[in-house]
Structure 1
Amino acid sequence: MSTRLRPPVRVALARSVDVLPRGGPYAYEPKFDGHRLVVLRTAAGVLLQARSGRMVADSFPDLARAARALPEGTVLDGEVVVWTGGRTDFAAVQKRAMAGRARAAALARELPASYAAFDLLATGSADLRRLPYERRRAALVELLAPLGPPLQPVPMTTDPDTAEAWFASLREVGVEGLVAKRLDHPYRGGRREWQKLRHSETRDAVVVGFTGPRARPRTLVLVLPGDDEPVVSGRLGPHLQLRLAEALRESAAAPETGRLTTSDGTVYTPVPPDLSVEVQQTAVRNPVTTVVRLRGPD
Structure 2
Amino acid sequence: MPVALAQLVPTLPVGPGWWYEMKLDGHRTVLWRDADAVRLQTRSGRLVTTVWMDLALAGMQLPPGTVLDGEAVVYIGGRVDFGAAQSRAASTPARARLLAARHPAAFAAWDILAHPVLGDVRPRPYLERRALLLDVLADVRPPIQAVPATDDPETALLWYETLHDQGIEGLVAKHASSSYRPSRVWKKVRHAETVDAEVVGYTGPPARPRHVVVRLPDGRRAMSQSLTAPVAAQVAAHLASAGSGRRARTDAGEQYVTAAEGLTVEVLAGTTRHAVVSVTRVR
State the TM bucket, normalised to the shorter chain. Answer: 0.7 to 0.9
Equivalent position SS for 1:15: strand
Partner of 1:140: 133
Q: 2:19 touches 2:174 (CA, 8 Å); kept in 1?
A: yes
Partner of 2:175: 182
> Alpha carbons of 1:163 and 1:67: their partners in 2 closer, same or farther (altered >3 Å)?
same
Q: Following TM superposition, by how much is the alpha carbon of 1:85 offset from its aligned partner in structure 2, in angstroms?
A: 2.0
1:278, 1:182 → 2: CA distance?
27
Equivalent position SS for 2:84: helix
2:50, 2:101 → 1: CA distance?
14
Partner of 1:156: 149
Q: TM-score, structure 1 length as denominator? A: 0.70
> Is 1:117 aligned to residue 109 of structure 2?
yes
Partner of 1:280: 269
Equivalent position SS for 1:52: coil
> Is 1:99 aligned to residue 91 of structure 2?
yes
Q: Following TM superposition, by how much is the alpha carbon of 1:261 offset from its aligned partner in structure 2, in angstroms?
A: 6.7
1:196, 1:234 → 2: CA distance?
26
Q: 2:271 touches 2:278 (CA, 8 Å); kept in 1?
A: no
> Is 1:196 aligned to residue 188 of structure 2?
yes
Question: Identity over aligned residues, as a percent?
Answer: 47
Partner of 2:46: 54
RMSD: 3.5
1:148, 1:83 → 2: CA distance?
17
Superposition pairs of residues 23-62 of structure 1, within 5 angstroms: 23-62=15-54
Counterpart of 2:99, as a letter, is L
Match of 2:277 among 262, 287, 290: 290
2:64, 2:3 → 1: CA distance?
20
Aligned length: 240
Return 5+ residue gaps in structure 2 as ranges: 196-201, 214-220, 246-255, 258-265
Q: Following TM superposition, by how much is the alpha carbon of 1:289 offset from its aligned partner in structure 2, in angstroms?
A: 7.2
Q: Following TM superposition, by how much is the alpha carbon of 1:74 offset from its aligned partner in structure 2, in angstroms?
A: 0.3
1:119, 1:30 → 2: CA distance?
13
1:168, 1:196 → 2: CA distance?
15
Partner of 1:64: 56
Partner of 1:84: 76
> Alpha carbons of 1:262 and 1:55: their partners in 2 closer, same or farther (altered >3 Å)?
closer
Q: Following TM superposition, by how much is the alpha carbon of 1:106 offset from its aligned partner in structure 2, in angstroms?
A: 1.4
Q: Following TM superposition, by how much is the alpha carbon of 1:177 offset from its aligned partner in structure 2, in angstroms?
A: 0.7
> Alpha carbons of 1:149 and 1:221: their partners in 2 closer, same or farther (altered >3 Å)?
farther
> Alpha carbons of 1:166 and 1:233: their partners in 2 closer, same or farther (altered >3 Å)?
farther
Q: Following TM superposition, by how much is the alpha carbon of 1:167 offset from its aligned partner in structure 2, in angstroms?
A: 0.9
1:289, 1:43 → 2: CA distance?
47
Partner of 2:7: 15
> Alpha carbons of 1:289 and 1:152: their partners in 2 closer, same or farther (altered >3 Å)?
farther
Q: TM-score, structure 2 length as denominator? A: 0.74
Q: Following TM superposition, by how much is the alpha carbon of 1:282 offset from its aligned partner in structure 2, in angstroms?
A: 7.4
Q: 1:15 touches 1:195 (CA, 8 Å); kept in 2?
A: yes
Partner of 2:216: none
Return 5+ residue gaps in structure 1 as ranges: 1-8, 204-209, 223-231, 268-276
1:185, 1:20 → 2: CA distance?
16
1:41, 1:87 → 2: CA distance?
28
Question: How big is each residue's C-alpha offset from its partner over 1:186-227, in whole Å with a ceiling of 9 and x where there is no partner?
Answer: 111x21010011124148xxxxxx9569xxxx96459xxxxx
Q: 1:59 touches 1:104 (CA, 8 Å); kept in 2?
A: yes
